[in-house]
Amino acid sequence: VNELRSIGIQPDIIVARSSTAIDDSIREKIALFGDVEKRAVINVPDARSIYHVPLMLKEAGLDTFLVEHLHLPEGTTDIANWVHLCERIDHHDTAVRIGIVGKYIALPDAYVSVTESLRHASLAAGVDLDIVWVSAEEVEKGAFDLSTLDGIVVPGGFDGRGVEGKVAASQYARHHLLPFLGLCLGMQCAVIDIAREALEAPDANSTEFDPATRHPVIDLLPEQKAISDKGGTMRLGAYPCHLVQGSRAAAAYGTDVVYERHRHRYEFNNDYRKALEETGVVMSGLSPNGNLVEIIELPSHPFFLGTQFHPEFLSRPHRPHPLFAAFIDSARQHAHEHTPSKTPASTQANPSRTATRKA
């Protein structure tokens, strides 16, 4: 407060952060030294979740104070939906363990859109979300037991570090019928995984990671191959995606066309579309001209789906993204039906249980 005054600013409201709620004597002291009304001292103690903070601010009277101070028209505030959201946070029937397999797990805020999308879907489903941070490099070494999870998410990313671990996570999810959601690079890793096994092409890869691969199942868009200056050449922003009727993606969205946001340069290589379709892969989301594969899925799997776009950008607390909602619903079913400890990570997959067949 003194620093503000030193530059000629007098605060009207003071927000007091604390680990526990402050009492009236402390509030009065802050108001006295800050030269504000006592009710203008808004205490924000630690909350059970970030979604409880708006309720705390309303209970502290911040909304009423602001309306009066700014001479805004008075009205009624209806936050029943938000109250209901927080009630769902506090009461869950089931817990699901979702592993996020990435290389930035030491900085989890790098995946905050993904974690919040999972949280939104979990709240809507009435389940408790237990996020497990899984190092892709540890999976690559075989040092993490994926059998303890109820679902796997492989988010986006760049460059080759940890990619083989993400491919291995996709393979594990396929073989053990574990719900899987791949986002952008996550979808590309799933395509690499499926192609290596189903097409008997162990060197299948993305040219981003192996420019010399004989089976570039993920490659640059043709119009970008001659571009040397990569600045601004990414596919960015919202693009339409046409969904295949009868697919899991179409069932989740409940519509035929959606608009989703992108951030990438590499795409599914159409030279391999027919071969992978013959192994059971469904290209369930396509660009309007049919040239770009936006979604892949395995109908023989409880839930195995990858998107070239980033659905996490469009999820909201009261409106979870349909694909995240479908994924969490499948993970909840897995948690109900399975005892993870019965499936050790070292167990070899039974070929009859894999979700793709060889071409």
SS3 240: strand
Angle, CA of 178, 182 and 185, to the nearest 5°: 145
User: At 137, which helix (H) or strand (E)?
Assistant: helix 136-140
User: What residues are annotated to the active site?
Assistant: 184, 310, 312
CA atoms of 248 and 243, how far apart (whole Å): 9
Encoded tokens for 76: 């009624």
User: At 15, which helix (H) or strand (E)?
Assistant: strand 14-18
CA atoms of 167 and 193, how far apart (whole Å): 5
Q: Phi-psi bin for 216: left (phi > 0), alpha (psi -120 to 50), beta? A: beta
User: Any bridge partners for residue 243, and if so which?
Assistant: 285
Beta-carbon-side half-sphere exposure of residue 125 (alpha carbons within 13 Å):
26
Question: Phi, psi (5° rounding) for residue 93?
Answer: -95, -35
Assess contact for 10 and 42: CB atoms under 8 A: no
Assess contact for 57 and 44: CB atoms under 8 A: yes
Q: Using the 8-state DSSP alphabet, how is residue 193 labeled?
A: H
Q: Using the 8-state DSSP alphabet, how is residue 149 labeled?
A: -
DSSP letters along 41-88, please? EEEEE--SSGGGHHHHHHHTTHHHHHHHHTTPPP-----HHHHHHHHH
Encoded tokens for 311: 């659905």
